[in-house]
Structure 1
Amino acid sequence: MDQLKELLASTPWWVYILLLLLIVFVRDILQKKHTISHNFPIVGHLRYLLERIGPELRQYIVANNREELPFNRSQRSWIYASSKKQNNYQGFGTDQDQSAAGYVFINPALFPYTPKPDHPNVIHKDLVPCAKLMGGYNQRKRPFRPRSIVNISAMSFGSLSARAIESLNRGAYTAGAFHNTGEGGYSPYHQKGADTVLQIGTGYFGVRDENGNFDLNKLIELTTAHPQIRAIEIKLSQGAKPGKGGVLPASKITREIAEIRHIPMGQDVVSPSNHSAFSTPAQLLDFIELLAAETGLPVGFKAAVGKLELWEELTDLMLEKNIGPDFIAIDGGEGGTGAAPPSFANHVALPFVFAFAAVYKIFQKKGLTNRVVFIASGKLGFPSNALMAFAMGADLINVAREAMMSVGCIQAQSCHTNTCPAGVATQNKWLQSGIDVKDKSARSAQYLKTLRKEILEITHAAGYEHPCQMTMDDVDVGMGDNNYTTTLTQAYKYQKEPVPFSGMNSLIECPHLGAIKTEN
């Protein structure tokens, strides 16, 4: 034994390296799984290394500020600076191609709106509640006026990590925003103070029986026990993968996730593409009324948009029965968070501007626009994009990936691999441990406040007190031909209906206004 130790101690270090390379060489030659490694032993591994770190190389070294998708470096930098309360200005003018097709121009007024000294926005520069009362038309027992026009979109615990969800919820509480739970159930991490919108998906996670069917009693118990649940959203589809369910592999199901979702351990759990509780527009309306009657909460649904026949049928039934959803979330096909097949993410469902315009015109034709709170989502977490949505008829903006970036997401695009290096979209305990909830929640809140503040500042520049007053003529879009631009009215062939609005004071005095953190 002593002789062996002496031999090992006297052996040069480079011999060990050569031995290791020899082992790798022999392994590469013998294995048949990877052709590159077999044909080019040792050096072939460099190809896989470069492939693995390719997104990071392009993100930080190769691509320019406006080149990347889904969010370019300039957009990400604005979110990071805004969430950290850093200087998010830019110098020396715009660096964007203002002649590009689809470029958004906000038309300023000759004389901007100037709040008086006693105006709420002089005291609270980012205070912007929703102009409509959710559940007001249908006279729900517990109507809800969101305190913030910008809120956090549906992202489940399971898709995102516990620390990411908690950071977002605490941030929403501080900023006065609501937090959509996503379809993964109402986790303890959604219960850190913020108003929540409980999403019910096709798997009915958290409100299902042993056979996976919807359980009304569990929903009643949940909403009764947690008054911070202010509304219920039925998920019909989402922009990333409309018309498709999902699979939660057994390997990813922890005891905690199983208890929250009311699912068994040790087996894959499938979310079907369709709801089992209803299958027609008429049944959907009846289901909405059932949930609203039993919980007293506003109830709406979320959908991506494609074929419009059933939207026509839905609105006809709303007129006939004088019932309907309290809100509708329109998700653009460019939206997304976790995982989706490229064929769905890239090609199924309309982008937000086309989707929203198509649905809004149907509701406008039937005189239904002011019965419903319209929620817009799909890369709208920037002031100009958000204001375009308000001009088209949106009442609220939901942000998902932008909110993820505010708590540390670096757009590594590894959400579907459980290896998110920022700890945001993973259940890996070590990777999650890098998220400081206190710090990230403050950043999340600051991002929401900054976005609201800048939306409001541009609104004032356009001559209005509240974004709900924006019209289709207040926004031009570039057509890409000879620097020609046109108004949203001309581009989408409608003018949005005026939203009843009597001043910001009337909104903040509403007894159904959402919660906000008050302690120091």
Structure 2
Amino acid sequence: MFPVHVQAKDLRVTVGGSRCKQPYSASIYNISAMSYGSLSKTAVTALSAGAKLGGFAHNTGEGGVSPFHIEGGGDLIWQIGTGYFGCRDKDGNFSEKLFKEQVAHPHIKNGGDQAVSGSQARARRYTAGCQEYTGDRSYTQGGTLYTVASPPAHSAFSDQFTMLLYIDKLRVLSDGKPIGIKLCIGNKQEFERLCQEMKHNRIYPDFITIDGAEGGTGAAPLEFTDSLGMPLYDALAYVQHMLELYGLRDEIKLIAAGKIITGVDIIKAISLGADICYSARGMMFALGCIQALQCDSGRCPVGIATQDKNLYKGLDVADKRVRVANFHGNTIKSTIEVMEACGFASLQDITPDKIFRRVEQGQTKSFKDIYFPKKPSPSSISKNYVLN
């Protein structure tokens, strides 16, 4: 009945827990992980430049920090995957020295767990002597073609406890920048075990990014994109449950990724526990994606998902960076308009009991009733820990 007034400056969230020395003020809407190599150099530059223009952040994807991320000038979230691109030694293992050198760059605001002209080879640091990009995750050295594939598992840690030690190591090496993890929830007990280890050892990531099953690029295996992982809303609600149950919520910010394009999408994710949202699809639309469905072929006709210079030279960075910034700005504007109309004076006012969905003919339920039907309780695997 009585609309409120919300300002854009109020839609920013500080990322960084008690162990973080350099907290980051993030927009609630940022560019999701898409690597240079998967995207062209002009696409990456335009995204980073748009992030700078609009005052939001750009996740590098697991391919590492390329010169084109830096050229764009936007704030960067450096994603480190199992290939450790950008901080891998000659054997493909994590290199503390290379990580410390790269993470010190002022454009890198966050770090996280998760081709090639000479510049991209150097960015990914496959090995010494990389010369030329020849295809996805491939390079030539001494006239020989090599392919570098990300292994399925990290070599720097092997379980929840050693992962937390790794997170703490990265935080120290980065001089206290926010460090987080990214995952798609599969086995719920694995995540609950992680919560128990965090509580027991008092080591926490500064943020956790939840990828929904709805996400994934056109280059991903169909079996993975179609069949694996929890849907975003279910996963967010579950993680919110667990973090609250173990008293960890104040230390950790939640980032949601998976088909979040509109202001209403953002509000729905926030109601289920997200502090911040990522968008890949929306940002690609802003670049000019026409959904030609050729992401995995290298023949993207609009020069986004390709390394063919005859195709990507048609992507005008000066024009597209403005479009990326405008897309972000207008999405934030629409979020504000919906919040004002609903009487949400702050992000904290967006709660699941205010969001409704028709579940069947003649029946509507709130998100609270759908996703938080009962108060969570520790599972049997928590018996080894004393909960305060």
**Same-fold call, TM cutoff 0.5:** yes
Work out whether residues 67 and 120 of structure 2, in 8 Å CA contact, stay in contact via their aligned partners in 1.
Answer: no
Work out whether residues 167 and 440 of structure 1, in 8 Å CA contact, stay in contact via their aligned partners in 2.
Answer: yes
Matched, 1:330 2:210: yes
**Which residue does the alignment assign to 2:118?**
255
**Which residue does the alignment assign to 1:363?**
243
* Unaligned runs of at least 5 residues, structure 1: 1-109, 116-120, 236-251, 497-520
**Which residue does the alignment assign to 2:82?**
202
**Which residue does the alignment assign to 1:286?**
165
Q: 1:435 to 1:468 in 2, by over 3 A?
A: farther
SS of the counterpart of 1:328?
A: strand
**Which residue does the alignment assign to 1:300?**
180
Matched, 1:130 2:9: no
State, as a whole percentage, how many aligned pairs show the same letter: 38
Matched, 1:175 2:45: no
Task: Tell me how far apart the structure 2 counterparts of residues 361 and 165 of structure 1 sit (CA, whole Å).
Answer: 36
Residues 172-191 of structure 1: per-residue CA shift (max 9 Å, x gap)? 11110001111111111111
Matched, 1:113 2:4: yes
SS of the counterpart of 1:209?
A: coil
Work out whether residues 17 and 252 of structure 2, in 8 Å CA contact, stay in contact via their aligned partners in 1.
Answer: no
Task: Tell me how far apart the structure 1 counterparts of residues 43 and 146 of structure 2 sit (CA, whole Å).
Answer: 26
Q: Which has the larger radius of gyration?
A: 1
Matched, 1:313 2:176: no
2:92 aligned to 212, 228, 235, which one? 212
In the TM superposition, residue 338 of structure 1 has moved relative to its aligned partner by: 4.0
Work out whether residues 63 and 86 of structure 2, in 8 Å CA contact, stay in contact via their aligned partners in 1.
Answer: yes
Kindly indicate which of the two structures has a greater share of residues assigned to strand: 2
Task: Tell me how far apart the structure 1 counterparts of residues 218 and 48 of structure 2 sit (CA, whole Å).
Answer: 18
**Which residue does the alignment assign to 2:365?**
486
**Which residue does the alignment assign to 1:379?**
259
In the TM superposition, residue 143 of structure 1 has moved relative to its aligned partner by: 1.3
Residues 302-323 of structure 1: per-residue CA shift (max 9 Å, x gap)? 1011111111111111111111
Residues 19-59 of structure 1: per-residue CA shift (max 9 Å, x gap)? xxxxxxxxxxxxxxxxxxxxxxxxxxxxxxxxxxxxxxxxx
In the TM superposition, residue 364 of structure 1 has moved relative to its aligned partner by: 1.5
Matched, 1:477 2:370: no
**Which residue does the alignment assign to 1:234?**
113
In the TM superposition, residue 494 of structure 1 has moved relative to its aligned partner by: 5.4
SS of the counterpart of 1:415?
A: coil
**Which residue does the alignment assign to 1:26?**
none
In the TM superposition, residue 209 of structure 1 has moved relative to its aligned partner by: 0.3
Work out whether residues 159 and 338 of structure 1, in 8 Å CA contact, stay in contact via their aligned partners in 2.
Answer: no
Return 486-495 or 179-188, whichever deviates more.
Answer: 486-495
Matched, 1:423 2:314: no
Task: Tell me how far apart the structure 1 counterparts of residues 146 and 173 of structure 2 sit (CA, whole Å).
Answer: 33
**Which residue does the alignment assign to 2:42?**
163
Residue identity opposite 2:162 in structure 1: Q
Task: Tell me how far apart the structure 2 counterparts of residues 343 and 314 of structure 1 sit (CA, whole Å).
Answer: 27
Under a length normalisation based on structure 1, what TM-score does the superposition of the two structures give? Answer: 0.67
Task: Tell me how far apart the structure 2 counterparts of residues 349 and 326 of structure 1 sit (CA, whole Å).
Answer: 23
Task: Tell me how far apart the structure 2 counterparts of residues 114 and 376 of structure 1 sit (CA, whole Å).
Answer: 25
1:390 aligned to 234, 253, 270, which one? 270
Higher relative contact order (Cα pairs below 8 Å, separated by 6+ residues): 1
In the TM superposition, residue 137 of structure 1 has moved relative to its aligned partner by: 2.5
In the TM superposition, residue 128 of structure 1 has moved relative to its aligned partner by: 4.2
In the TM superposition, residue 370 of structure 1 has moved relative to its aligned partner by: 1.9
Residues 315-374 of structure 1: per-residue CA shift (max 9 Å, x gap)? 111111111100000000110124111111100111101111122211121121221110
Please tell me the root mean square deviation across aligned C-alpha atoms, in Å.
1.5
Task: Tell me how far apart the structure 2 counterparts of residues 455 and 273 of structure 1 sit (CA, whole Å).
Answer: 37
Q: Tell me which stretches of 4 or more aligned residues in structure 1 moved more than 6 Å.
A: none
SS of the counterpart of 1:409?
A: coil
Residue identity opposite 2:155 in structure 1: S
1:270 aligned to 149, 153, 175, which one? 149
In the TM superposition, 1:10-21 aligns within 5 A as none
Task: Tell me how far apart the structure 1 counterparts of residues 301 and 339 of structure 2 sit (CA, whole Å).
Answer: 38
* Unaligned runs of at least 5 residues, structure 2: 131-139, 376-388
Residue identity opposite 1:444 in structure 2: V
Task: Tell me how far apart the structure 2 counterparts of residues 431 and 399 of structure 1 sit (CA, whole Å).
Answer: 24
How many residue pairs get aligned? The number is 357
Residue identity opposite 2:64 in structure 1: G
Under a length normalisation based on structure 2, what TM-score does the superposition of the two structures give? Answer: 0.89
